[in-house]
Amino acid sequence: MNYPNGKPFNPNQTRGGIMNRERRSKIEYGGRGMSLENDIERSNQFYIKNKQAVIHKKPTPVQVVHVDYPKRSQAVIKEAYFRTPSTTDYNGIYKGFYIDFEAKETKNKTSFPLQNIHEHQVKHMKQVLSLGGIVFLLIRFKMQDEVFLLPFKHFLPFWERCQQGGKKSISVEEIQENSYYIPYQYQPRLNYLNAVDKLILDESEDRV
Amino acid sequence: MNYPNGKPFNPNQTRGGIMNRERRSKIEYGGRGMSLENDIERSNQFYIKNKQAVIHKKPTPVQVVHVDYPKRSQAVIKEAYFRTPSTTDYNGIYKGFYIDFEAKETKNKTSFPLQNIHEHQVKHMKQVLSLGGIVFLLIRFKMQDEVFLLPFKHFLPFWERCQQGGKKSISVEEIQENSYYIPYQYQPRLNYLNAVDKLILDESEDRV
């Protein structure tokens, strides 16, 4: 939507030409190349500090099987397993809205593989959307270092296309056409609530 | 508020007199005496099934230190520790509102000890309240088997009284006066959204 059509933005080219691979890999411009999860975590801390929003990542669900209680010290989990999450990773409140989203990175340069998303997560997001929540996916293409906010209602047709035997991924072009592009900025680096503002505005216009 | 003043309700007396301790302890009337957490979980499943609300318990936060990856089988967490939660246990969406609450049981018959609640949880609830969320505590007195919904803004003065060196607990009478009583019913057994409806109504009247 507000993404300049055509060639993907290459941050290295704008910083004085393409560097050799080795040098480039060691340089981090203020954390560029940081994981999406880290970026979101920093943004969320920024939003809380500035009283804009309260959004948290949910802890990874773990099935605890065995715990030791050593005398005079902390309980130690000795056997546990990772469980598949039944909801999305992030939720919270912003401008009175219930916010719910999943964040995913892909190394794939040309498309976002749908196997990154679980069926029960889609079910969860459908339910939240029907109750009036603001639901979306944050998708980062690692190689291009670009992040998009894809509203869940625009994601759903691609998911259904896949369920009906169609493509198992969403192409970069399809994502560009259906998403809000989130440019990196100074503080917070990934100001995804800017894109959420646009989503809220578009949703309210849809309702008129 | 909508709690009949005076004596606490005794479910055993209404079922044909007081039974001897041994027999009583073995009998469960449709799950009575079940943990508050179980009751809430069942209610939440009911609400999701009936498309009323999407509310989930957050997983217990665990700090994973060591994971084994055995060949051809699931990853096993071999060393991990429980972390202190920085938010409340439950959140979700209902009637478009962001819902956020903490659930606690106490064996104490006469008061609710404030040590059950962490300072960062109070900070979290303050922030959510200021952003327009519906925030409360569900408190169950185990011995009486009674559950109350205490709105966070009514909880806060008791918390502050404690911070200022006053009582370290909230008495049952204080809770009765400031809460919505949640009677057990058929399905869901703990229909706490009924009390949330009243809270939403009272909040909207306060805003007028």
pLDDT tens by residue, A53-108: 999 999 999 999 999 998 888 899 999 999 988 899 999 999 999 999 999 999 99
What secondary structure does DSSP assign to B109-127, as a single string? SSEEEGGGS-HHHHHHHHH
Instruction: Please check whether residue A61 is in contact with residue A83, taking contact to mean a CB–CB distance below 8 angstroms.
Output: yes
CATH number for A34-59+86-207: choose from 3.40.1350.10, 3.40.190.10, 3.40.50.1360, 3.40.710.10.
Answer: 3.40.1350.10
| Closest partner CB to A93 (pick from B61, B76, B128) | B128
* Residues of A (146-175) whose Cβ lies below 8 Å from B: none
Mean pLDDT on A24-35: 52
- Taking all residues of chain B, what is their mean pLDDT, rounded to a whole number? 86
* Residues of A (92-151) whose Cβ lies below 8 Å from B: 92-100, 124, 127-128, 130-133
Confidence of residue A11 (pLDDT cuts 50, 70, 90): very low
Strand partners, A135: A100
Q: Do A80 and B75 touch (CB under 8 A)?
A: no
pLDDT tens by residue, B6-48: 334 443 333 333 333 333 444 444 445 579 999 999 999 999 9
Confidence of residue A32 (pLDDT cuts 50, 70, 90): low
What ipTM does this complex have? 0.82
Mean pLDDT on B69-88: 90
**pLDDT higher at A74 or A27:** A74
Tell whether B45 is within 8 A of chain A (Cβ): no
| Closest partner CB to B96 (pick from A59, A127, A132) | A132
Element of type H or E holding A141: strand A134-141
Long-range contacts of A151-160 (CB under 8 A, 24+ apart): A151/A178, A151/A179, A151/A180, A151/A199, A151/A202, A152/A125, A152/A126, A153/A129, A154/A178, A154/A179, A156/A122, A156/A126, A158/A114, A159/A114, A159/A117, A159/A122
Domain range B21-59+85-207, CATH class? alpha beta
Q: Do B76 and A80 touch (CB under 8 A)?
A: yes
Mean pLDDT on A142-167: 97
- State the binding site of A for Mg(2+): 87, 89, 102, 121
> Which pLDDT belongs to residue B8?
41
Interface A-B, measured as beta-carbon pairs within 8 A, has a size of 110
List % helix, strand, coil for chain B (3-state, nearest 5).
Answer: 35, 30, 35
Per-domain residue ranges of chain A: 34-59+86-207
| Token pair recorded at residue A79 | 């056997």
Tell whether B27 is within 8 A of chain A (Cβ): no
Mean pLDDT on A34-45: 94
Confidence of residue B73 (pLDDT cuts 50, 70, 90): confident
Q: Is B79 annotated as a binding residue?
A: no
Q: Do A92 and B98 touch (CB under 8 A)?
A: yes
- Taking all residues of chain A, what is their mean pLDDT, rounded to a whole number? 86
